[in-house]
Amino acid sequence: MKHNVTKLFFISCIVLFIVNQSECYKILAIVSTPSYSHQIPYQPLWLELHARGHEIVLVTTNPMQNINSPNFTQIDISTNYNSLRAIDFVKLRFEKVDWIEALERYILSLCSSFEVQVFNSTEMKKMYAPDSNIKFDVLLTEFLYMPAIYAFAYRFNASLIGLSSLGLLSINDFVLGGAILPSHEYFWENEGNTGINLPFYKRLYNFVKIWRLLLHVNFNIFPEEQKLAEQYFGPLPPLIDIMKNVSMIFINEADVLTPGRPILPNIVRFSSFHVSENPDPLPKNLQKFLDGAKEGFIYFSLGSNARSSAIPKEIKRIFCNVFAKLPYRVIWKYEEEDLLEKPKNVYIGSWLPQQSILAHPKIKLFIYQGGVQSSEETIRFAVPVIGLPILADQDYQVRRMEALGIGKYLEITTLTEDQLENAIYEIINNKKYKERILIIRDQIKDTPYDTVKHLAWWTEYVVRTKGAPHLRCTLALEPWYQRFDMDIVVFLAIVTFIIVLSLFSIIVKLLVYLYKMSQISTDKKQKIT
């Protein structure tokens, strides 16, 4: 992977000299989440934009290596990793803390600390200082839960493009003017409570959950973020209004892996372009271990944000006991130097070249946490999965992989030896999983254009068209009650109520009248007799 990045960079340097300088733009990219999976999806885009002759200023927690160009500046905010390490996501999983609760208790304050590092960066302070004349044509930044960053678009008078490595968030759809359908399965914030034709009680739960989240974001997060941004920039327009002026959002998700849904014209989806067609060679000791796996091997990793070393001892013992009984070798991403009761057929490492491992011809199965980028990689190399979700979108992703017939979902907090062993043999011995993932891989690869160049073109298009306002949905600018026709619904409800009440009143009066008439008739008959 590193060699490919280096080659692409040198090619971009050559192209840089022949590009028409009059069409070069100044691009600011801010990706402040300290997670490799949040950084790598966009790295090919930065290199492609640089290759087209644009000047790039990248604020990142993972600076790319071997970049040496006056038109490519990297601002290192890797200190954000210190804040992230304070949260034990595995522990939260075992405490049954759902995503929205984790968001309120931990994630939002964490996101604020990430933003503060951006604002306090010496290089950034020089650029946004009151006496600075620096301007940018466009800002690309994550559209997660860090709206204070959007203020840079206002400060630099730049068009705004959102990025999401986790698929579409409900707040993104809401702000863009999209349909908010909590009963549908495309919001990963519903976590594992997804599927087709959900029963009423699940749809009711999702409805309350998503709208509670949207209210929390609008009335709690944005006011706090407004204060944070104004500490550095002074008075600003409401951040929600800056966000509504977003030109476009680039969403990291594959059509094949997500349920069909209405898509707005300023949402552009991409997938898998961080995956290398020819991964770097494996380290010699690891290559020897995997080559010697006569029956094949299994790869086990919980990703970069969850540490498998933090798994409770009893669950570790389950993995060790099951792995020891298997005829396969196992390579396990484990963050500590030693693993008690480690079976002889298990190799552990704190860092492992994932794509190179997945590309090995003897791999049988990938046991993983369900991250988007890991899902893209395992599909590209056609390796079926067992998913053990830990946080955020991972429940949703693993459920989707299971629904597509390319993996199985297991709950790590209630895992048993029988469940794990049966799932491993089911995936490896049943050919349908391998056959199905090959079909999914071909569908994802079947695109009419180069996806990296596609995103680069859209970035340039936003600048050329001064923010592409014609692509924005006008619903985003309407009051919420008008957007959802709530005023009409209330009006019709009142009219219906009045009509029903009037009819009821008429019927009651008619019945009273008929009753009185019947009484009069009865009295007359009695007098006659």
pLDDT score for 11? 53
Separation in Å, CA 295 to CA 277, 332, 350, 408:
25, 17, 24, 21
For 79, residues 6+ apart whose C-beta sits below 8 A from its C-beta are 117
* 173 vs 335: CA distance, rounded Å: 37
Centre a 10 Å sphere on the Cβ of residue 207 and count the other Cβ atoms it contains: 15
Question: Measuring CA to CA, which residue among 246, 173, 249 is closest to residue 211?
Answer: 173
* 171 vs 175: CA distance, rounded Å: 6
* 367 vs 369: CA distance, rounded Å: 7
Separation in Å, CA 39 to CA 64, 381, 474, 476, 519:
10, 21, 32, 29, 86
Both tokens of residue 172? 């993104």
How do the pLDDT tens digits run along the chain, 529 residues long? 545 555 555 555 554 444 444 479 999 999 999 998 899 999 999 999 999 999 999 999 999 998 889 999 999 999 999 888 888 899 999 999 888 888 888 888 889 999 999 999 999 999 999 999 999 999 999 998 999 999 999 999 999 999 999 888 888 888 888 888 777 776 777 776 677 778 888 888 888 888 888 888 888 899 999 999 999 999 999 999 999 999 999 999 988 888 888 889 999 999 988 898 889 999 999 999 999 999 999 999 999 888 888 999 999 999 999 999 999 999 999 998 888 889 999 999 999 999 999 999 999 999 999 999 999 999 999 999 999 999 888 998 999 999 999 999 999 999 999 999 999 999 999 999 999 999 999 999 998 899 999 999 999 999 999 999 999 998 888 888 888 888 999 999 999 999 999 999 999 999 998 888 887 777 676 666 6
Helix (H) or strand (E) holding 76: strand 72-76
Question: Measuring CA to CA, which residue among 330, 348, 351, 352 is closest to residue 340?
Answer: 348
DSSP, res 337? S
pTM, two decimals, is: 0.88
pLDDT score for 282? 95
User: 375-387 in b/e burial notation, b at 16+ Cβ within 10 A?
Assistant: bbbbbbbbbbbbb
Residue 328, φ and ψ in degrees, nearest 5: -100, 155
Q: Domains of the chain, with CATH numbers?
A: 25-270+468-477 (3.40.50), 284-445 (3.40.50.2000)
Q: 252, 44 in Cβ contact below 8 A?
A: no
pLDDT score for 454? 96
For 142, residues 6+ apart whose C-beta sits below 8 A from its C-beta are 30, 31, 32, 33, 38, 149, 162, 163, 164, 165
Q: 294, 382 in Cβ contact below 8 A?
A: no
Question: Measuring CA to CA, which residue among 85, 64, 74 is closest to residue 8?
Answer: 64
pLDDT score for 99? 82
Question: Measuring CA to CA, which residue among 69, 12, 62 is closest to residue 42?
Answer: 62
Q: Residue 334 carries which side chain, given as an amino acid letter?
A: Y
Q: 113, 80 in Cβ contact below 8 A?
A: yes
* 456 vs 342: CA distance, rounded Å: 47
Q: Please report how the helices 2-16 and 43-51 are oriented relative to each other, as an axis angle in degrees rounded to 10.
A: 20
CA quadruple 385, 389, 390, 394: dihedral, nearest 10 = 100
DSSP, res 283? P
Centre a 10 Å sphere on the Cβ of residue 432 and count the other Cβ atoms it contains: 12
For 363, residues 6+ apart whose C-beta sits below 8 A from its C-beta are 290, 296, 297, 298, 299, 357, 381, 383
